[in-house]
Amino acid sequence: MVAELAVCRNLSNELKLTGKKNTGFMRKLRNIELGRLTVDEYKQKEKTPLVVVLDNIRSCNNIGSVFRTSDALLIQKIYLCGITATPPNNEIRKTALDAEKSVDWEYTEHTEDVVKKLQADGFKVFAIEQVENSIMLPDFKPCKAEKIALVFGNEVKGVKQSVVNLCNGTIEIPQYGTKHSFNISVSAGIVLWDIFQKMQ
């Protein structure tokens, strides 16, 4: 890794010093080179044992973004709860880019019911929230065989306390600025990518 970085730095410095253009070294891939699955192929693919629960998300753009991230990481399923909008929905589609057609989803009115159902099915359910005794994301170590569900909450109120009370634990993203608040779609991207990597 260190050697690779040195090569990259040397090439970058050489291009700056000589004025040469970087021809082909970092060519953008065309869509047909990305190995994209069809929706049918995606449905048949083995999924990551991760489930997403959206607890009263008000923004369709956020919902669509979570679908898109979930598609990229082969997330098993998304539960849409409470006021969370459901497909088909043009506002969701704007950010999902049809990922709402590939990722399995289900609507349930009460998030608490979903948490209990998932636990009965052998999932450990974690709220992504700032609470007492939360596990910081870098310290969260899932077992490879473990089935995990992650609850993301409302843009203003977060995950409901009644839902937090039912969860097996809570995971918190460390933050160091003045806001201590990520947009829900950003939180989902950070947490899902991190846990996806740890489960590989």
Strand pairing class (147-153; 169-172): unpaired
Task: Look up residue 16 and give its DSSP letter.
Answer: H
Reported residue count of the chain is 200
Residue 99 has a pLDDT of: 97
Give the closest residue to 193 by CA, choosing from 176, 173, 178, 175.
Answer: 173
Alpha-carbon span 130 to 159, nearest angstrom:
9
CATH fold of 37-199 reads: Alpha/beta knot (3.40.1280)
pLDDT in tens, 22-76: 565 889 999 889 988 999 999 999 999 999 999 999 999 999 999 999 999 999 9
Alpha-carbon span 96 to 113, nearest angstrom:
26
Q: Which residues contact 174 (CB under 8 A, 6 or more apart)?
A: 136, 137, 138
Q: What are the residue boundaries of the structural domains of the chain, listed by start? A: 37-199
pLDDT in tens, 169-199: 999 999 999 998 999 999 999 999 999 999 9
Q: For the chain, what is the radius of gyration of the CA atoms?
A: 20
Bond prior to 174 in cis (omega within 30° of 0): no
Alpha-carbon span 87 to 50, nearest angstrom:
21
Residue 18: pLDDT over 60: no
One-letter amino acid of 89: N
pLDDT in tens, 143-159: 878 999 999 999 999 99
Alpha-carbon span 195 to 114, nearest angstrom:
21
One-letter amino acid of 23: T
- Taking the alpha carbons at both ends of the chain, their separation in whole angstroms is 20
